[in-house]
A and B are shown apart, each in its own frame.
Chain A
């Protein structure tokens, strides 16, 4: 079991309240996932030519200031950063590959959770309420957000094993379910140059999407391929720079519910995670069809 929640704002006036609207949704899914929790929030975009990364360290009192100073010297370009609990958000005017290379040399123990122009992935072990408080979720602003509460079945409870998983620039994945062919698929993907940090099945699904997108698939084509190649139960929510997508496997054992008003589109594993949203009593509420992709995106970034 796990819980998935997503909120995409159609009404931009609500963007300052995104975290406040989303926090009760995440907390409502505590029963489905008390081990770990996380979320990917989109907003506070950096300009073209810049890249934004979310970094996490397992050391609680990590010296981010020292690392950022060294990084600035190494890259020799403009850099901006702030700390958020065990994570740091880094904005830098260069290419992503150069930052990754520099970070690998300067701080191999620091994990890169996400990269892109908009996305920030924040996650960790503990109750959803603890994670929300740790990263001050209620105060966060943005255009859309997807989150996950984890009850681990396939691999260890660790920060690295919690969701969302990054699948490329400004892309991420959360998963409710379990994949039965993840070992074989991991071997195949390793041969394609995809790297893995855990024994987690969802990381394989994320790696699979990264690979398909790298091979030139559109998001829709990548998800259509995933229906053929992933064996198991899943409801996926995928965050993109401009919106989010939802897809369920053809058997559709894992639940999902969607709601739409003039102000927002919301998804959750169970309706009770949507009950706190304003105007939900008048929303259109429905269950997504199996093996069907639902996507909401802003037309222009």
Chain B
């Protein structure tokens, strides 16, 4: 196992060593200690590495991740796993705002709560949150699935495209063009699979599904006077 101690090693050294694995993969297991809330940890990894961060991370942790499995044993700051393409990012604590922003693929699991704008503009990632999420989550979300075992804040799914949202608790308010939808068998199946993969023991039938009513897809001439 390769060990980095960020009390002495720099973030740049850590990220460079991880990027070097893309040329020749020599070490799959990585351990990072004393992250101290530093930003940009484990960003741009491009190999199927297994990375454990032992403590709290700062902004953009595991951003642009491809293939790697990253586990943060603590909280993360703004934009965890932003623009992730594949792989798994698991946060044992809570996440700040814009978790999984614009991410295209892979799985992001947040065992605690996520702040505002969770999954903003997500483009195919799956996000599973054990706790609750903040306001404006899934704003303009285009593809992928968001599962919330707790509650959702104001304006959930505002201007939503094709992301499917599952919430177990209460939704404070729905954003423009986001509506509650019928939970059919295929939705229960995909939710069961997502919960199982994220490691949460929840009953899929206790969730509600939300999605786009597709009224904002095209400009309506009736609204012309508003511009």
Residue positions of A touching B, CB distance < 8 A: 252, 255, 257, 270-275, 281, 285-287, 289-290
- Contact of B58 (CB < 8 Å), options: A270, A286, A287, A290: A270
Residue positions of B touching A, CB distance < 8 A: 36-39, 55-56, 58-59, 75, 77-78, 93-94, 96-97, 115-116, 134-135
Q: In the bound complex, what is the Cα–Cα distance between A286 and B134 (angstroms)?
A: 13
- Contact of A287 (CB < 8 Å), options: B36, B37, B94, B135: B94
**A273: B residues at CB distance < 8 A:** 37
Question: What distance in Å separates the Cβ of B180 from its nearest Cβ neighbour in chain A?
Answer: 24
**A252: B residues at CB distance < 8 A:** 97, 115-116, 134-135
- Contact of A271 (CB < 8 Å), options: B75, B115, B116, B134: B75
A275:B36 contact, CB within 8 angstroms: yes
Question: What distance in Å separates the Cβ of A187 from its nearest Cβ neighbour in chain B?
Answer: 31
A271:B135 contact, CB within 8 angstroms: no
A287:B115 contact, CB within 8 angstroms: yes
**B39: A residues at CB distance < 8 A:** 272
A272:B58 contact, CB within 8 angstroms: yes
Q: A271-B75, A286-B94 are in contact. Are A281 and B55 (CB under 8 A)?
A: yes
**A285: B residues at CB distance < 8 A:** 56, 75, 93
A255:B96 contact, CB within 8 angstroms: yes
Question: What distance in Å separates the Cβ of A192 from its nearest Cβ neighbour in chain B?
Answer: 33
Q: Across the A-B interface, give the 7 residue pairs with the lowest CB-CB distance, nearest first.
A: A271-B37, A272-B37, A275-B36, A275-B37, A271-B56, A287-B115, A252-B116
Which B residue sits closest to A289, measured CB to CB?
B134
Q: In the bound complex, what is the Cα–Cα distance between A270 and B56 (angstroms)?
A: 11
Q: In the bound complex, what is the Cα–Cα distance between A284 and B59 (angstroms)?
A: 19
**B58: A residues at CB distance < 8 A:** 270-272
Q: A252-B97, A275-B37, A281-B55 are in contact. Are A290 and B75 (CB under 8 A)?
A: no
